[in-house]
């Protein structure tokens, strides 16, 4: 049975193959009865244990500390330091893999990455996980299939067609390569071929393309690996490959698209948005934005970078749409704003519309209404559903003059109900992305000035961190809901308390940063949060966002992707999720103490 040991279970996946064989050769299996001590308190451990079946209780002087389940590892601290102060007791009938002390210490001494798993803080552990994922995912990226890349549709011309005709055809289809049919032969002619013939060799534009075409085509199949395509391009010094499915040519793979796939093609999409001349062009770009999350996640790009890229592309898209549909008077006398996660730059998979408009002054009602309908309607056609709370440009409550917003601010502070708190959060997180940005600056400064020193309002505002329980128990066990399929809600239980707690502290300090990450940094600079805790809080937030992205990518249509099932996570991911949620609990206590929420 030791041969069945799962070497892919972290941290053992960090072992070299020879180290893994050493481990397997030394393994034993032990059985423990309910209540039997596996490691006593303040006693050295003679082995490292990995739970196969059953539950192990971890006790300290204060009582039961944690419950360990299958694939969980214990206790490296007692192993290395001879004693730890914690006891490990079988709660029920338990089977464990037993790794002898000598073997375990030898692996820890020989492999720094393996050793790091046991001793580092959550921020360092999460960095290790990110680095491991980057190496793993880049390898899987190279093993992606050619059919997953953007391919230019095949277009054919006759060998007798002229250079002039071929040039016009390339312009019509927006491609730089054409297939040339010459009887039974198929070749390729490119824009560079045409240019060299006319400019360098002074050939007539009436010359048949037969004289320019290359009939020695290098091709790949749609199910070939990306790595194979890259190798062929390098070996044959080609900038494009024909794609053939065994029966016919199905496309052309350009070097720029292959390299864009490997490096991330966000800049390509940004260029397409900037060059868009119609809503149809923007609709195509919107679909490509959606694919960026999956692409960058597969590449191992850090979650905060993915969110920033997607948010930037979405804002760029909406800014271009604003330029297309807004009349001239509106473009110079209003400010289009993104709110919610879009405003904070934390958008991942596309969600509903969350935007507004600040006007410098009154606008003719028919002109304004026409813009509201066209803008929100176009976004809906692009795949952005209407906001369930109607927080979007089409709602007159969120597209009106600055003076009306300022009146709202005063009313929200005078009547600080739940709706007022939500509205303050919306405006505070807003970011301008088109029009006169000074209008949002004035609105935010006015809001911050009104709230400055209003400790009662800020305390009530901060109370929302307790809207949802953190899904972790007294014994460090993850709490799931049977009604949700034994899952826990990452957004309610982890992401929201961090976002709102940080937002509350930042608002009190009058900070102008919008992203949660940057707000945490500034709060550390100001001494509101300890630097070491701020680092852990950032990493916990990023890890929760990463799990949420994975859930969103895997979710079926119509689901939020915020639910995660611990049973579907790896042992290391469950371990880190528990660590992250413990950080969330600590942060909630900090916010409660800071705003004296115990008096409510």
pLDDT tens for the chain, 600 residues long, are 556 788 888 788 888 888 999 999 999 999 999 999 999 887 878 899 999 999 898 887 777 777 788 888 888 777 776 666 788 999 999 999 999 999 998 998 888 778 767 655 455 555 555 555 544 444 445 567 888 787 888 999 999 999 999 999 988 887 889 999 999 899 999 989 999 999 988 999 999 999 999 998 999 999 888 878 887 887 777 889 999 998 899 999 988 777 766 655 666 677 778 878 888 888 888 877 777 777 777 666 777 778 877 888 888 888 999 999 999 889 889 999 998 888 888 877 767 788 999 999 988 888 899 999 999 999 988 888 888 888 999 999 999 999 999 999 999 999 989 999 999 999 999 999 899 999 999 999 999 999 998 999 999 999 999 888 887 765 556 766 655 556 788 888 899 999 999 999 999 999 999 999 999 999 999 999 999 999 999 999 998 988 888 777 766 444 455 777 776 777 677 778 888 888 999 999 999 999 998 776
Q: What is the pLDDT of residue 2?
A: 59
Query: What is the Cα–Cα distance from 27 to 226, expressed in whole angstroms?
Result: 40
Dihedral sign (CA 210, 162, 245, 293)? positive
Query: What is the Cα–Cα distance from 356 to 354, expressed in whole angstroms?
Result: 7
Tokens of 434: 């088109």
> How many CA within 13 A on the CB side of residue 256?
7
Supply the pTM of this predicted model. Answer: 0.65
Contact 457, 413 (CB under 8 A): yes
Closest to 165 measured CA to CA, from 139, 194, 136: 194
Count of C-beta atoms within a 10 Å radius of residue 112: 9
Q: What is the pLDDT of residue 419?
A: 92
Q: What is the pLDDT of residue 558?
A: 41
Tokens of 71: 């694939």
Contact 177, 152 (CB under 8 A): yes
Tokens of 77: 């601290």
Tokens of 408: 């709202």
Omega before 435 within 30 of 0, i.e. cis = no
Residue 187 sits at φ, ψ, to 5 deg, of: -130, -175
Query: What is the Cα–Cα distance from 528 to 508, expressed in whole angstroms?
Result: 11
Residue 384 sits at φ, ψ, to 5 deg, of: -95, 105
Closest to 418 measured CA to CA, from 479, 345, 500: 500
Quote the radius of gyration of the chain (alpha carbons, Å): 30
Q: What is the pLDDT of residue 213?
A: 92
In 3-state terms, what secondary structure has residue 65? strand
Tokens of 561: 């992707």
Residues 6+ apart with CB under 8 A from 174: none
Question: 127-133 — which CB contacts under 8 Å span 24+ positions?
Answer: 127/539, 129/10, 129/543, 129/572, 129/576, 130/300, 130/302, 132/13, 132/14, 133/300
Strands 177-182 and 156-158: parallel
Tokens of 574: 């469950």
Q: Judge residue 335's burial from the number of C-beta atoms within 10 Å of its C-beta, 0-12 exposed, 13-18 middle, 19 or more buried.
A: buried
Q: What is the pLDDT of residue 138?
A: 45
For residue 222, the 8-state DSSP code is T
Q: What is the pLDDT of residue 52?
A: 92
Three-class DSSP labels, 283-314 = HHHHHHHHHHHHHHHHHCCCHHHHHHHHHHHH
> How many CA within 13 A on the CB side of residue 452?
10
Length of the chain: 600
Contact 307, 348 (CB under 8 A): yes
């Amino acid at each position: 049975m030791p041969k069945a040991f799962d070497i892919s279970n972290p941290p053992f996946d960090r072992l070299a193959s020879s180290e893994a064989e050493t481990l397997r050769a030394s393994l034993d299996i032990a059985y423990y009865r309910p209540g039997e001590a596996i490691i006593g308190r303040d006693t050295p451990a003679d082995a490292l244990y990995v739970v196969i079946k059953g539950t192990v209780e971890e006790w300290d002087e204060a009582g039961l500390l944690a419950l360990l389940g299958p694939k969980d590892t214990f206790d490296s601290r007692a192993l290395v330091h001879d004693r730890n102060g914690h006891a490990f007791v079988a709660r029920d009938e338990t089977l464990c893999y037993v790794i002898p002390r000598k073997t375990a210490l030898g692996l820890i001494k020989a492999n720094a990455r393996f050793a790091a798993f046991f001793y580092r803080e959550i921020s360092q552990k999460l960095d290790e996980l990110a680095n491991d994922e980057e190496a793993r995912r880049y390898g899987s990226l190279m093993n992606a299939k050619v059919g997953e890349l953007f391919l230019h549709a095949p277009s054919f011309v006759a060998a007798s067609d002229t250079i002039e005709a071929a040039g016009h055809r390339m312009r019509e289809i927006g491609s730089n390569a054409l297939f040339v049919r010459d009887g039974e032969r198929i070749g390729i002619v490119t824009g560079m071929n045409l240019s060299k013939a006319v400019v360098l060799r002074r050939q007539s534009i009436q010359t048949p393309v037969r004289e320019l075409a290359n009939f020695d085509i290098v091709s790949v199949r749609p199910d070939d690996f990306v790595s194979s395509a890259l190798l062929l391009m390098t070996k044959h010094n080609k900038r494009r490959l024909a794609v053939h499915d065994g029966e016919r040519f199905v496309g052309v793979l350009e070097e720029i698209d292959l390299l864009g796939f490997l490096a991330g093609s966000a800049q390509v999409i940004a260029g397409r948005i900037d060059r868009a001349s119609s809503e149809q062009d923007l609709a195509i770009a919107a679909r490509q934005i959606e694919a960026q999350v999956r692409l960058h996640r597969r590449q191992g790009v850090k979650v905060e970078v993915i969110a920033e890229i997607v948010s930037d592309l979405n804002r760029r898209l909406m800014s271009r749409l604003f330029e297309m549909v807004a009349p001239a008077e509106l473009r110079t006398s209003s400010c289009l704003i993104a709110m919610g996660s879009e405003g904070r730059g934390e958008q991942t998979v596309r969600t509903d519309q969350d935007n507004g408009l600040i006007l410098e002054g009154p606008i003719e009602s028919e002109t304004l209404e026409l813009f509201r309908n066209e803008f929100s309607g176009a976004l809906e056609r692009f795949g952005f559903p209407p906001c369930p709370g109607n927080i979007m440009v089409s709602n007159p409550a969120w597209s009106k003059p600055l003076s009306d917003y300022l009146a709202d601010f005063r009313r929200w502070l005078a009547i600080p109900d739940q709706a007022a708190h939500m509205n303050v959060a919306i405006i505070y997180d807003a970011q301008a992305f088109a029009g006169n940005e000074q209008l949002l600056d004035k609105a935010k400064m006015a809001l911050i000035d009104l709230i400055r020193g209003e400790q009662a309002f800020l305390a009530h505002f901060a109370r929302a961190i307790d809207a949802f329980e953190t899904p972790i128990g007294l014994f460090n066990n993850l709490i799931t809901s049977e009604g949700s399929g034994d899952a826990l809600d990452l957004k309610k239980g982890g992401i929201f308390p961090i976002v709102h707690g940080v937002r509350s502290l930042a608002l009190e300090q009058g900070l102008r940063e919008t992203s949660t990450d940057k707000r945490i940094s500034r709060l550390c600079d100001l001494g509101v949060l300890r630097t070491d805790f701020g680092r852990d809080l950032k990493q916990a937030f990023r890890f929760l966002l990463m799990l949420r992205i994975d859930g969103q990518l895997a979710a079926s249509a119509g689901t939020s992707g915020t639910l995660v099932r611990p049973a579907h996570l790896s042992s290391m991911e469950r371990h880190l999720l528990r660590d992250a949620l413990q950080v969330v609990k600590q942060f909630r206590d900090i916010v409660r103490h800071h705003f004296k929420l115990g008096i409510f």
